[in-house]
Structure 1
Amino acid sequence: MTFVVPYDGSPLADAALERAAAFGAALDEQVSVVSVVPERTRYAREKGWIDEDEPYDVDAVVEDLRTRALSIAADAAFAVERIREFPPGDRLAAHIERLVREQEPTVVFLGSDNVGRVVTPLTSVGVHVAGDEEYDVYVVRQSEQPRLEALLEQVDGDGSVGDGT
């Protein structure tokens, strides 16, 4: 099994990587991180990789993403693809999906606040990656881990999951 996390350094990508690392440790499975880095300053600013007046050093951003990812999941593999263009969401998703598939995932941990909604923005990268039926998708919508106490409240006295009554 391989758990794969598309990673852009956002809080939800961090949370998805944390979840993948926890599952990977518990199940003794490999975690792989994949990143696509367009070589366009506008994209880097939109992602918060650089400040408004800061020059764009693509190598530095790639190294920062790698360092941040490995600080969360030290044993993870890291794959990155640099692309020259700043493509629309669906074309960016195609690059990410190709990198994901190369890892032969069983589960993709996807940090996204809009995957699975009834109305999904056409620019959502996550909706394209999550649409592949070759692997399961674990969607992380909250940066904070669910509290164990909240989960345990849903478990009845006999260990079965219920409504707590």
Structure 2
Amino acid sequence: MSLLVPFDGSTLSMTALRRAQEFATFSDAELVVLTLVPDDPEYARERGWLDPEDTFDVGVIERKLRQRVHDEAPTAEFRCELIEDPTDPVATVPMDVARRIRQVAAEVDADILFIGSENAGRVSTPLASVGSPISEDPEYDVHIVRHPE
């Protein structure tokens, strides 16, 4: 069994990671944690990945988030990928992130995704949410974390 946790360091993604780690421990499942970093310094600063004076460096972001994941789930496989400028002119960052999460879920043959999202699965879907398109995929079960604890 394989579990996938998209992780951006937010409170809800941390809660999703904790729950996935507990599930992995009890089910002997493989836990994969995926961080996707859009090629956008402002996006990185908004999420607290970079300090205002820092230059955009995916390696720095990866090291910070890898350490947070390791502290919570030391046996998890951590993957960090850069999402470069979209080739599709109408694509948005959330669309690109959701697309890549679905691709990685297929690559690792994920049985369950643990997603920390305030918006996933709601009837009205904000344009900034990656949760809704991921939660609609029938290829895997989805555990949606909407509350920090």
- Structure 1: 5+ residue runs without aligned partners? 145-165
Moved over 6 A (4+): none
CA distance in 2, matches of 1:109, 1:37: 18
Q: Among residues 116, 121, 125, which one is paired with 2:121 in the alignment?
A: 116
CA contact (8 A) 1:3 1:29 kept: yes
Give the paired residue count: 144
CA contact (8 A) 1:6 1:100 kept: no
TM-aligned CA deviation for residue 45 of structure 1: 1.0
Q: State TM-score, norm by structure 2.
A: 0.90
Q: Is 1:4 the equivalent of 2:4? A: yes
TM-aligned CA deviation for residue 28 of structure 1: 1.4
CA distance in 2, matches of 1:25, 1:71: 15
Identity of aligned residues (%): 40
CA distance in 2, matches of 1:37, 1:20: 21
Residue deviations 1:35-63, cap 9 Å, x none? 11122211101211112232222101011
The farther-off stretch of 104-113 and 51-60 is: 51-60
Match runs of 1:1-165 below 5 Å: 1-85=1-85, 87-144=92-149
Structure with the larger RCO, 1 or 2 (CA within 8 Å, 6+ apart): 2
Aligned Cα root-mean-square deviation (Å): 1.4
CA distance in 2, matches of 1:96, 1:43: 18
User: Larger C-alpha radius of gyration, 1 or 2?
Assistant: 1
Q: Matched residue of 2:42: which SS? A: helix
Residue deviations 1:77-97, cap 9 Å, x none? 112211222743112211222
CA contact (8 A) 2:2 2:32 kept: yes
CA contact (8 A) 1:35 1:96 kept: no
TM-aligned CA deviation for residue 120 of structure 1: 1.5
